[in-house]
A and B are shown apart, each in its own frame.
Chain A
């Protein structure tokens, strides 16, 4: 089976080297410009969009161009799909840079965006875009709101603070090294004072700049009356600075600047790791949120004498008339005023069987028009439509959701006061009982605070979570944040959607039967392949879901002439000089009353029941009369997954929008006892709200828009990467596989990660119990503090490395 040289799609028998003219053209462009090394170097990712040139963009790039007064350049930023690896970056950037008027072309592989600057006219943008589209990449307008939200959430404050803290820690330690090993105080007073002064000069600005993050968070937590670790950290830093400053000016022996700065450095590493993991997940998930930046083709509008132009969906008004071509998404809720077609409502209901629509039927924004173009008159703007209502419902739920207190904060609720009390006791004992000078007492109290500072704690959890999330990512499972990792260990119940979650969500060919002599007969393998090939040749030319199923059923196709699709009925064509018809029984002239008796109709029903099918179509080729049976089928791993969760005593609930029969069948196959059918999104949410009221924590697994409110309500939400954009955005965990085994892996590996987190907490506690008595007795000199801090952090890091081994999973 040869593949297209450019996009690597499978080639038909009569095609040579390329699957289409677009690919051939792309290949020529690449070779003529000297970039043929692209093909050798690239690594195609099967999960990414195929590189077949399809130069239909549904937006006007000219509207997005900006002009920079200073450099006199035009600039355009777009999102790009189809990037796989460095070779793509190289190809696009260099091809663009070769054009004379383009001054800058930069691809951001992380965010999958492209930035082009050029000099010339604004109309040049169309030629420039065409270059990229001709290579096979898809371009989309950037959702500025997403980018802005991204920049606000993940700004570089922590990164910069980390850099400064590192600078400070390294330089101060340079001086401290000399002082640490000077146990007999041989360094002269003047030199000592000089070094102390230098340390303080470096430490104070660094502590203020880098420690700012902790101080602000501590103040906020005091206001919210929810003590967190940052209060302890801030107090420690503050006291250590004061004590050390006093020692510096009095010519004292030891200062603790190095410990304080090192502490801040380690803590910031923990914070940064945490942030980076969340940033990566956000990157991946938000790439798919293009649902709000679509455009629609306006025919007549109240807005301003446009006719037949592309208008952003948000600007559509009531009574505007839009044209929805076949295969396009319907922009807003409305009424069909012209045309007859079939609509795919899977976004809303989750069911992909198309519904017929004709004049005066109502359609909803977000559904897809399958068959033929229709004109729709808008009845509700985007903001008022069903889609928006569901989105607001989701936002409301998320806002009221209980704030989950992370394991680290739970621990520190007890830890922090305990540490403060110990420090206070130390001070009192030294000052009152041992009658020492008050600053010596204070120094010992500070030592206690420093040595018990949650350095290991603050590193233990983020490191474990970062390694775990990173490993999940390698298996195609995206965890949006560490919370999900902790929460998933506490759920009692799993709620599953049916279509698209437990099942593939699309019809596939189940059985092929021949109608002959008034009976249904099975075919042998070669004949089956032959008739499937004929049917799939015809099916390529239709967008009906059953046609998709048929085209996928056969790799090879015949040559066909005189293809003619009759909407709503079927397709006919001429293959090998014989007429072939694919479609309903009336269309194929397979008269069921003549050829099939009543008993045989029952046979058909029986056959459909046996192979779990609910859709069918017919083929007539010459004298052959064939019936194809289709149905949805369970995803791989479904039964294993259910068995596993039942084994570990988790309750399983099946929540579906589909009909009773279908839901019952699946529940029986999988042995699920609790199931609901024909529930719309709001009803699903109500059922789950009841679970919440009973204080049962549950994980919801779903994919369609009808699952989105349920996903928002659940303690942990899981979705799939082929799912609707919103579900991916809300879900805590996204699985990029079409099997269900990853769910088992998620559970087992998360449990291991929780175990390791608890081990790390225990290690941190043990180290503290050993170290605190020494500190209270005044034995902890800065050198010991530094060693203790580093070794405890190291110990915790090494223990977390266990997450990399997948033994016991």
Chain B
């Protein structure tokens, strides 16, 4: 059971890290425009390099 003494703090730290990352994203307004974000990634590589002057 002493292994719990390691596992539990590690688990908590990991999930706490996840929570902090989430809070940072919200503060950074990343959740404000979900439509734009989802559409933007679909077009990453569609620029036609050949016809560019």
Give residues in A with beta carbon < 8 Å to B: 31-37, 41, 85-87, 89-90, 93-94, 107-111, 156, 159-160, 163-164, 167, 170-171, 174-175, 188, 191, 194, 198, 202
Contact = CB atoms under 8 A, between A and B. Distances in A.
Classify the secondary structure of B's interface with A.
Answer: helix
A89 B19 contact: no
A34 B12 CA distance: 49
A37 B36 contact: no
Q: Which 6 A-B pairs have the closest CB atoms?
A: A86-B39, A109-B36, A34-B52, A90-B43, A37-B46, A34-B48
Contact of A35 (B11, B32, B48): B48
B51 A90 contact: no
Contacts of A35: 46-48
Contact of B47 (A34, A108, A109, A110): A34
Interface of B: 1, 4, 8, 11-12, 15-16, 18-19, 22-23, 26, 31-36, 38-40, 42-43, 46-53
Nearest to A85: B39
A445 B25 CA distance: 41
Given A109-B35, A109-B39, A90 B46 contact: yes
Contacts of B15: 167, 170-171
A171 B43 CA distance: 38
Given A32-B51, A35-B48, A160-B23, A198 B8 contact: yes
Contacts of B49: 34
B47 A167 contact: no
A86 B51 CA distance: 22
B51 A37 contact: no
A86 B42 contact: yes
B1 A110 contact: no
Given A32-B53, A86-B43, A174-B11, A111 B26 contact: no
Classify the secondary structure of A's interface with B.
Answer: helix
Contact of B51 (A36, A170, A171, A202): A36
Contacts of A174: 11
Contacts of B36: 86, 89, 107-110
Contacts of A85: 39
15 contacts: A32-B52, A32-B53, A34-B50, A35-B48, A36-B48, A37-B48, A41-B46, A89-B39, A90-B39, A108-B32, A109-B35, A109-B36, A110-B33, A160-B23, A167-B15
B19 A87 contact: no
Given A87-B43, A89-B40, A90-B46, A163 B19 contact: yes
Contacts of A167: 15-16, 18-19
Given A110-B34, A160-B26, A198-B8, A94 B40 contact: no
B32 to A, nearest CB: 7
Given A108-B33, A110-B33, A160-B23, A31 B51 contact: yes
Contacts of B47: 34-35, 37, 94
Contacts of A109: 33, 35-36, 39
A156 B26 contact: yes
A69 to B, nearest CB: 21
A394 to B, nearest CB: 30
Contacts of A37: 43, 46-48
A159 B29 CA distance: 12
Most buried by A among B47, B48, B51: B47
A48 B37 CA distance: 20
Nearest to A201: B12
Contacts of B46: 35, 37, 41, 90
A163 B48 contact: no
B32 A110 contact: yes
B34 to A, nearest CB: 7
A41 B43 contact: yes
Most buried by B among A32, A36, A90, A194: A90
A34 B26 CA distance: 35
Contacts of B4: 191, 194
A618 to B, nearest CB: 51
Given A34-B47, A34-B51, A163-B26, 10 more contacts: A33-B53, A36-B48, A86-B42, A87-B43, A89-B43, A110-B32, A110-B33, A159-B26, A167-B15, A191-B4
A428 B3 CA distance: 44
B20 to A, nearest CB: 10
A778 B52 CA distance: 76
Contacts of A194: 4
A112 to B, nearest CB: 10
B52 A163 contact: no
A171 B11 contact: yes
A170 B39 CA distance: 31
A174 B31 CA distance: 28
Contacts of B39: 85-87, 89-90, 109
Contacts of A32: 51-53
Most buried by A among B38, B40, B53: B40
B29 to A, nearest CB: 9
A202 B26 CA distance: 22
Contacts of B31: 156, 159
Contacts of B23: 160, 163
A35 B49 CA distance: 9
Contacts of A87: 39, 43
Contacts of B50: 34
B15 to A, nearest CB: 6
Nearest to B23: A160
A191 B32 CA distance: 44
A322 B22 CA distance: 52
Nearest to B5: A194
Contacts of A90: 39-40, 43, 46
B53 to A, nearest CB: 6
A416 B11 CA distance: 38
A37 B46 CA distance: 6
A32 B16 CA distance: 49
Contacts of A164: 19
A194 B5 CA distance: 10
B9 to A, nearest CB: 9
A762 to B, nearest CB: 35
A111 B31 CA distance: 12
Contacts of A171: 11-12, 15
A30 B8 CA distance: 56
B17 to A, nearest CB: 11
Nearest to B22: A163
A453 to B, nearest CB: 25
Contacts of B16: 167
B21 to A, nearest CB: 10
B33 A111 contact: yes
A266 to B, nearest CB: 19
A155 B47 CA distance: 37
Nearest to A191: B1
Contacts of A33: 52-53
A499 to B, nearest CB: 36
A32 B33 CA distance: 30
Contacts of A188: 1
Most buried by B among A41, A85, A86, A191: A86
A33 B31 CA distance: 31
Contacts of A156: 26, 31
